[in-house]
Amino acid sequence: MTMAPRALLAALALLAAGCDDEPLPEVTVVVDDALRRDLETIKGARVFFGHQSVGHDVLEGVAALAREAGVEVAIGEGKIGANGKPEAKFDDFAKRAETGAELDLIAMKLCFVDLYRGADPDQLLSQYKAAVARVRKAQPNAKILHVTTPLTIRATTVKASIKRLIGGNSHSDDSNLLRLTYNRGLREAFPGEPVFDLATVEATRPDGSKEEFAVGGRPVPNLWRGYAADEGHLNEQGKRVAGRAFVAALAEALRK
């Protein structure tokens, strides 16, 4: 008899988790004249993009689209800091500007692992602002493309579903809420400046609707499963969609 409540909770959790094997719509990224113009804009630009693993996903998407468009593009890029140590990423980002060659545009992104439950988004934003100030001082003519932090899928494990059923939040819920807070703060901190809104790209389904779930009464964006290779990295479709958006953001920033 004592097992009955647990069994009931488990059954309810499985129902709440839903069916993850339902077919998802495919996404087509068209190689058109607009994409070719954007690629031509960034082709000869002196760009540096500091990142970690999701950054590789985005750049793989850019490379695939550039090949199909017949435009050779080489975006300067490299790993900065270490995952789980965002302060090191900010410092490395600033040092690239302080010690590297003159640039037309510089950008960096945090990874989803830098904003897990327990992180302080306000403190991280302050550290990013300080790094940006160093970059501006070192390279006053370079444009800065701000990049929002990527998201993770909404956990649908039995454990996560039970937490929600009893009124709590899963780890993924709380973490994506922190990412939302950081990303909103980043946009507000640099009004009118170019932004590659990777988080919004990841949370936008092919039909334009948003992958969002309520956390504490607030709609919180999540990585859409149709773009996901795992918890937070991008599959081939996701790479192309994010790569196209990155090319557009780079080109727009360089044209201003």
Level-2 CATH architecture, domain 31-255: 3-Layer(aba) Sandwich (3.40)
Q: What is the pLDDT along the chain (256 residues), one digit of tens a residue?
A: 344 555 544 554 444 445 455 678 888 899 999 999 999 999 999 999 999 989 999 999 999 999 999 999 999 999 999 999 999 999 999 999 999 999 999 999 999 999 988 899 999 999 999 999 999 999 999 999 999 999 999 955 545 454 544 455 555 788 999 999 999 999 999 999 999 999 999 999 999 999 999 888 889 999 999 999 999 999 999 999 999 999 999 999 999 8
CA–CA separation, 65 vs 244, rounded Å? 8
Tokens of 230: 């795992």
| Structure-derived torsion over alpha carbons of residues 186, 176, 113, 131, reported in degrees to the nearest 10 | 10
- CA separation (Å) from 247 to 207, 208, 251? 21, 19, 6
Strands 76-79 and 47-51: parallel
CA–CA separation, 130 vs 165, rounded Å? 41
CA–CA separation, 127 vs 135, rounded Å? 13
Length of the chain: 256
CA–CA separation, 252 vs 167, rounded Å? 44
- CA separation (Å) from 40 to 43, 77, 202, 204? 5, 18, 25, 26
| pTM of model > 0.85 | yes
Tokens of 155: 């956990």
CA–CA separation, 134 vs 41, rounded Å? 27
CA–CA separation, 91 vs 75, rounded Å? 21
